[in-house]
A and B are shown apart, each in its own frame.
Chain A
């Protein structure tokens, strides 16, 4: 069965620090997709990135970057020069199975960025 583990429950950093959020997943699928979402205090889950298991290249989007390593089943997320607005809960997710829309989420990592 699909499983996503986010071992870091909460991380506190000071503004401008770099921070990495860990995500480890389990799947028997040979091809799969991975997602990251951000949940600010307002509650809405905001889509950040989708990654195909075929593509192991790192991805960078502004201050955000993602490191996907199939060999260790990890899909880690790094925020460079963190800002107060980055404070949120971040979720890593994996679709349940072929043809199913159900997402299996990790337990989330709460990031607190203080000024």
Chain B
């Protein structure tokens, strides 16, 4: 079974631009979560999607948004990029959305904002 895939793996953008990251969950998994990882803040939860609906959102500004499609694939978008948005963005999928469900992570997208 293929794991979680994320595209692109690396991105370089400049301040003010916007970016879209993509995540394909493990087949059969319906929940997708996004995390941001930075050296200063560690791993922080961005949002969770289940059945095409955002169920939870972390403490991030409205510039961060996302969506989930009917095939459970998910995208996240960051508008008006800032230098501080440089990070590793990790997507995770799980079969369901209970807290006992294991989240399996993708390889991440490393975003650099210049």
| Chain B minimum-CB-distance residue to A91 | B43
Set of chain B residues within 8 Å of A101, measured between Cβ atoms: 31, 33, 48, 50, 55-56, 94, 97, 99, 101, 103
Q: How large is the interface on B (under 10, 10 to 19, 20 to 34, 35 or more residues)?
A: 20 to 34
Cβ–Cβ contact B97 & A45, under 8 A: no
* Majority secondary structure, B binding face: strand
Q: Which of B42, B50, B105 contacts A45 (CB 8 A)?
A: B105
Smallest CB-CB separation from B93: which chain A residue?
A: A101
A50 within 8 A of B: yes
Encode contact with B along A78-115: 1 for CB under 8 Å, 0 otherwise.
00000000000001000111111111110110000000
Task: Give the complex CA separation of A108 and B40 in angstroms.
Answer: 12
Q: How many residues of A contact B (CB 8 A)?
A: 26
B104 touches A47 (CB 8 A): yes
Partner of B107, one of A33, A43, A100, A108: A43
Whole-angstrom distance from the CB of B93 to the nearest CB of chain A? 10
The 7 closest A-B pairs by CB, nearest first: A95-B99, A45-B105, A105-B43, A102-B45, A44-B107, A101-B48, A43-B108
Interface residues of chain B, those whose CB is within 8 Å of chain A, are 31, 33, 35, 42-43, 45, 48, 50, 55-56, 58, 88, 90, 92, 94, 97-108, 110
